[in-house]
Structure 1
Amino acid sequence: MSHRIVRRVQVDDSHLPVSLSPLLKQLYARRGVNEGNCELLLSKLLRPDTMKGLAEAAVLVADAIAAQQSILIVGDFDADGATSTSVCMLALKMMGAKHVDYLIPNRFDYGYGLSPEIVAVAYSKNADVLITVDNGISSIEGVAAAKLLGMTVVVTDHHLPGSSLPNADVIVNPNQPGCQFASKSIAGVGVAFYLMSALRAELRQRNWYQLQHITEPNLGTLLDIVALGTVADVVSLDTNNRILVNAGLQRVRSGRCRVGITALLEVAKRSPEKTVAADFGFAVGPRLNAAGRLDEMALGVETLLCEDIMLARRMAAELDGLNQERRELETGMQQEALKSLSKVSLNEDDLPWGIAIFQDDWHQGVIGILASRIKDRYHRPVIAFADAGDGIIKGSARSIKGLHMRDLLERINSLFPGVITKFGGHAMAAGLSLKADVFELFKQAFDDAVREVLDYEQLTGELLSDGELTSDLMTLDTALLLRNAGPWGQSFEEPLFDGIFKVIQQRIVGEKHLKLLLETECGSMMLDGIAFNVDLAIWPDATIKHARVVYKLDVNEFRGNQTVQLMVDYIEPI
């Protein structure tokens, strides 16, 4: 698909420290960094007292610990849910809680969140207190069931609430009405970490640690898990999230991280001391997620809780195998989806604006990634559905800039009452369920709703470039500077540059990746480049001598040598 390359405008960067290089000052200023948030210090984290419900939740949990009640963490089956669960399990045990366990619904048997069925399982485990992490804000029926059975319910979540809230004892969610906490894009694991910090302070006030003869825990030791969950959940990296991620990455690089994370980095062939946010996003996160997609997320949680490196390596190898299986499933599904889309029309202009696809043999655990891939391919909002049994299909939705997916589903729900049985999510991603026999009706309603919200121009992908790099900046020093200037990620995008290059050599490696040797236009230097998953109908082509390339400046490590290479995001023959 063709992209429109838009160069970011030059902005005033005089407010930033002179100690920064001119390139970095401009990159930071374009991303809204000011003098106050230039340094990512833990002391600059947002204060917990602005998070609604946090103090009350800390009191409830402290009371439960003091009374030796049974506390059950109910998590979600993705990386954010697994990391949130792990943070609570580890922190509660460090603070002397005697009866703590966790429960993560199997996505195939129970579906998402604190459902009445999961409450029944919790009751059978004799739980007194339920703490939801990364879910619960839409669990109206589940919370009601738990309250009927006499349980205390603390909901911690970050998803957008619906029109009514569950009747929990306390809700901690920065997106709930009336919460003044400034970081609305904090991940579920971030909310869990804030609750554990508030709990530690509450127990300190009660002289709990002296009375129990335990050392007050350093919760900073959990920041590697917080960083992993935050990056893997692709939330916006606002300043608060960047502080959390940066602190976690520092732990990993200095060799002080959980053995489970070390083992996952090893199996993904990443070096812990050189770990960047993208390694969490593209290497560790998917392996952790694979457990919840294809099997039981408990395997992911146990990997994070593990204290023994040999056992952690065995579990990481199992997760790696599941991830490989997930990839193969996804590739097959993607080919089927693209084949069915090509039947819609040979002309991209006639494609639906909102793409809804369903096949009854697709795997529920992989439809989110499938929707993401199709969205990237066509730059349109996509919902992929799989059969969930009993005449119900479950969909996973991914959006593009300019379209708020959860709001769009709410709109369809109000126009066609009863078509969607349930839904929830964010601006860029959401989940929903339908009766299978209304899929065709929904498919049309989705396309119509997208057409009402978007303009045709928004269906062309836009690449935001930081402009052209001069030859004197295309160096290893610049690449290392940019690597260490992160963490980069969602809404704090890693710098992309663009330019016209001579194509000296081109060949396919690893089935569908394009290895390039490029020369700068003025002929002053040669650079290696790699473009992943290229269109084999176009590349390689010996007749292409010049190309416009949009790239990241990257460090290539091979046999102990570091060289600069271009990670090509987009290449267009000219």
Structure 2
Amino acid sequence: MQKRWAIRENTDEEAVSNLAAALAINPVLSKLLVQRGIDNFEDARYFFRPDHRHLHDPFLMKDMDKAIDRIEEAIKTNEKILVYGDYDVDGTTAVSVVYGFFKKYHRHLEYYIPDRYKEGYGISTQGIDYAAEHEFSLIIALDCGIKSVEKIAYANELGIDFIICDHHTPGDELPEAVAVLDPKRADCEYPYKELSGCGIGFKLIQAFAERNNIPFEEVSCYFDLVAISIACDIVHITGENRVLAYYGLYKLNNNPCIGVKTLMEVAGKTSNYSIADIVFLLGPRINAAGRIDDAKHAVELLIACNEDSAKIKGDLINIKNTERKGHDLSITDAALSMIDNDAILIGRKSTVVFNENWHKGVIGIVASRLTEKYYRPTVVLTRSNGHVAGSARSVLGYDLYEALCGCSDLLIQFGGHKYAAGLTMAPENVEAFINRFEEVVSSTITDEQLVQQILIDAELNLTDIESKFFRILHQFSPFGPENMSPVFISKNVYVSGNAGLVGSNHIKMTVMQPGSAMFDCIAFNHGEYLSKIKKDTPFDICYSIEENIWRDKRSIQLNIKGIRM
């Protein structure tokens, strides 16, 4: 697929020069810092040295004092508390953190995960009825609830109090809960707005620990679960999230809880995890529990107290993940065939595919794969509970949610954000939706948005890549949204030795510039360039710099994102 190379807009060169002098570092590194809003020594020190003491006071969050007061009252009077969370990675890790912590201090505690297919996302009437039937008087809702105004009102009628811990943007009206913890509330002055749902749960237990003089170690032992939520919910890795992710990765790689350790073992990688490794190896397995069977299995694994029970749940989740992969691959193949054999679909600026027999639990994954393949706004539809349910994904810069607003009269409901959304419609509206969505996208998307972009941070000579440079660059991690692994461009490089094909379509080679060392490279999905790469022919590359670990040997490797002859 053709990709557009775009170099970041000019950075304040004076700020770059001054910061390079103050830190005694390569100007390219100081440019990366300035791009991240860091332009003085103190901010750089804060960035390069994450410290748990940088975590904000949890009581700065609106309603935190009310939440802790209500929990303390429930514990004192032996009320039954239900910890309620969503069925995805963020929700199940949040439930595991909050349930695992409070179980040490309160006996009358259970957790509840709604059924993905019977109850859907968020607070459900069935969940509230379960609480009423089993005499729970307090529900702590995690990663959901901020828009559940009617459901919370129903719970109030039944005498059930709610504490909402959510990180999604509120609607015009807040639910009438005892406490609503959400930094995105307009009236909340909490300094950091981008916590995950599990992150909000972590702040809740941090506040309880501070109020009750519980050692911080009783809270920090959940750092690994918080890091998993940050990675898999694709929240910003800046500010407080960066601190939580830093410590969480350290714990995960050195002393993970029993459940996470077991999950790492069944994933086939037990050390040197990065944020990307969590996303691709651990996240899908946790999600598979709820996509294929029951998300409670994920919680049971993450709160496991002994290795035997963890092993049973870990193996079960791995089996469900294998089953999920089977659905994923078969549906993706069917969708690709459907598109490639239809001249009308190929020629469109959007992709909408429908098959009533596809598994609802994986259509979001399939939508992502189709977007990656054809690079245009994509919706995958299937039948579910008498309706047609869909999952949608977008391309860089295009507002998918706004496009769905243009089709709202054809939809029963929809929700999401700029790049991902879910929707439901009546079966008889499918054909009309396919045509309307194409009309809206065609009239609002630009030709530039339909070409995948590689955003390049800076130009770099290969001679600059030496041990000090790499050591400092490594300290920019953990990488993720708003702090992505930097992408560099080096011009007029030459292949040294032979370039060869590995796998089905990947190039492995060694490159250099005059006077530089030789660097091993891997160029995934660039096999079509192999015949053009000659020893005496210069070419440009854009790439990220990473550490390659093979049989305990570490080396610098260039992960090539693009080749230009």
> Would the TM-score normalized by the shorter structure come out above 0.5?
yes
Answer yes or no: is 1:79 the counterpart of 2:77. Answer: no
Q: CA deviation at 1:557?
A: 1.8
1:336-381 deviation digits (Å, cap 9, x = unpaired)? 2222223453896x322x4332221211111111122222223322
Match of 1:401 among 371, 389, 396: 396
State how far apart, in whole Å, the 1-side matches of 2:29 and 2:307 are.
38
Identity of aligned residues (%): 29
**Worse overlay, 106-115 or 512-521:** 512-521
State how far apart, in whole Å, the 2-side matches of 1:20 and 1:41 are.
22
1:67-105 deviation digits (Å, cap 9, x = unpaired)? 1111111111111011110111112123x1221111111
Q: CA deviation at 1:489?
A: 0.3
- Distance change >3 Å, CA 165–CA 450, structure 1 → 2: farther
Tell me the equivalent position of 1:263: 262
Tell me the equivalent position of 2:367: 371
State how far apart, in whole Å, the 1-side matches of 2:83 and 2:333 are.
39
Q: CA deviation at 1:239?
A: 1.4
Q: CA deviation at 1:523?
A: 8.5
Match of 2:433 among 442, 449, 466: 442
Tell me the equivalent position of 1:355: 351
Tell me the equivalent position of 1:28: 33
State how far apart, in whole Å, the 2-side matches of 1:329 and 1:549 are.
36
Q: CA deviation at 1:246?
A: 0.9
Match of 1:131 among 140, 146, 154: 140
State how far apart, in whole Å, the 2-side matches of 1:479 and 1:501 are.
19
Tell me the equivalent position of 2:232: 232
Q: CA deviation at 1:498?
A: 2.9
Match of 2:67 among 32, 53, 57: 57
Tell me the equivalent position of 1:223: 223
**Worse overlay, 499-508 or 155-164:** 499-508
- Distance change >3 Å, CA 101–CA 185, structure 1 → 2: same
Tell me the equivalent position of 1:212: none
C-alpha contact (below 8 Å) 1:73/1:85 kept by paired residues: yes
- Distance change >3 Å, CA 358–CA 521, structure 1 → 2: farther
Name the SS of the counterpart of 2:508 in structure 1: strand
- Distance change >3 Å, CA 378–CA 312, structure 1 → 2: same
- Distance change >3 Å, CA 408–CA 495, structure 1 → 2: same
C-alpha contact (below 8 Å) 2:544/2:558 kept by paired residues: yes
Map 1:96-115 onto structure 2 (within 5 A): 96-115=105-124
Name the SS of the counterpart of 1:329 in structure 2: helix
Tell me the equivalent position of 1:299: 297
1:423-456 deviation digits (Å, cap 9, x = unpaired)? 3333332222222221222233333333454332
State how far apart, in whole Å, the 1-side matches of 2:194 and 2:313 are.
31
Q: CA deviation at 1:491?
A: 1.8
Match of 1:567 among 535, 559, 565: 559
Q: Which letter does structure 1 place at the counterpart of 2:318?
A: D
1:394-427 deviation digits (Å, cap 9, x = unpaired)? 22222333334445444543xx2xx322233333
Q: CA deviation at 1:175?
A: 2.1
State how far apart, in whole Å, the 1-side matches of 2:23 and 2:155 are.
57
C-alpha contact (below 8 Å) 2:258/2:302 kept by paired residues: yes
Q: Which letter does structure 1 place at the counterpart of 2:269?
A: R
Answer yes or no: is 1:469 the counterpart of 2:474. Answer: no
Point out where structure 2 has 5 or more consecutive residues left out of the alignment.
Answer: none
Q: Which letter does structure 1 place at the counterpart of 2:257?
A: R
Name the SS of the counterpart of 1:335 in structure 2: helix
C-alpha contact (below 8 Å) 2:195/2:235 kept by paired residues: yes
Q: CA deviation at 1:548?
A: 4.3
Answer yes or no: is 1:287 the counterpart of 2:292. Answer: no
- Distance change >3 Å, CA 438–CA 328, structure 1 → 2: same
C-alpha contact (below 8 Å) 1:344/1:351 kept by paired residues: no
Q: CA deviation at 1:25?
A: 2.7
Name the SS of the counterpart of 2:412 in structure 1: strand
Q: CA deviation at 1:525?
A: 4.8
State how far apart, in whole Å, the 2-side matches of 1:59 and 1:388 are.
42
**Worse overlay, 443-452 or 172-181:** 443-452
Answer yes or no: is 1:18 the counterpart of 2:23. Answer: yes
State how far apart, in whole Å, the 2-side matches of 1:19 and 1:68 are.
59
Answer yes or no: is 1:427 the counterpart of 2:423. Answer: no
Tell me the equivalent position of 2:382: 386
State how far apart, in whole Å, the 2-side matches of 1:281 and 1:355 are.
25
Map 1:552-563 onto structure 2 (within 5 A): 552-563=544-555
Match of 2:127 among 118, 127, 134: 118
1:209-258 deviation digits (Å, cap 9, x = unpaired)? 7xxxxx786311111111110111011222121111112122223x2321
1:142-184 deviation digits (Å, cap 9, x = unpaired)? 3233222221112211122334433333321222332222433
Q: CA deviation at 1:526?
A: 4.1
Q: Which letter does structure 2 place at the counterpart of 1:115?
A: S
State how far apart, in whole Å, the 2-side matches of 1:86 and 1:401 are.
33
Aligned residue pairs, count = 549
Name the SS of the counterpart of 2:499 in structure 1: strand
- Distance change >3 Å, CA 270–CA 28, structure 1 → 2: farther
1:449-488 deviation digits (Å, cap 9, x = unpaired)? 3345433222222111133432234457655543443111
State how far apart, in whole Å, the 1-side matches of 2:196 and 2:216 are.
25
Tell me the equivalent position of 1:505: 499
Q: Which letter does structure 1 place at the counterpart of 2:5?
A: I
- Distance change >3 Å, CA 347–CA 5, structure 1 → 2: farther
1:260-288 deviation digits (Å, cap 9, x = unpaired)? 2222223333343x222222222222221
C-alpha contact (below 8 Å) 1:517/1:526 kept by paired residues: no
Q: CA deviation at 1:513?
A: 4.8
TM-score scaled by structure 2?
0.89
Match of 1:316 among 306, 314, 317: 314
TM-score scaled by structure 1?
0.87
State how far apart, in whole Å, the 2-side matches of 1:70 and 1:407 are.
42
Q: Which letter does structure 1 place at the counterpart of 2:425?
A: L
Answer yes or no: is 1:518 the counterpart of 2:510. Answer: yes
Q: Which letter does structure 2 place at the counterpart of 1:249?
A: L
State how far apart, in whole Å, the 1-side matches of 2:280 and 2:112 are.
26
C-alpha contact (below 8 Å) 1:423/1:431 kept by paired residues: yes
- Distance change >3 Å, CA 412–CA 196, structure 1 → 2: farther
C-alpha contact (below 8 Å) 1:6/1:465 kept by paired residues: yes
Tell me the equivalent position of 2:51: 41
- Distance change >3 Å, CA 411–CA 162, structure 1 → 2: farther
State how far apart, in whole Å, the 2-side matches of 1:132 and 1:15 are.
45
Name the SS of the counterpart of 2:555 in structure 1: strand
**Worse overlay, 104-113 or 425-434:** 425-434
Point out where structure 1 has 5 or more consecutive residues left out of the alignment.
Answer: 210-214
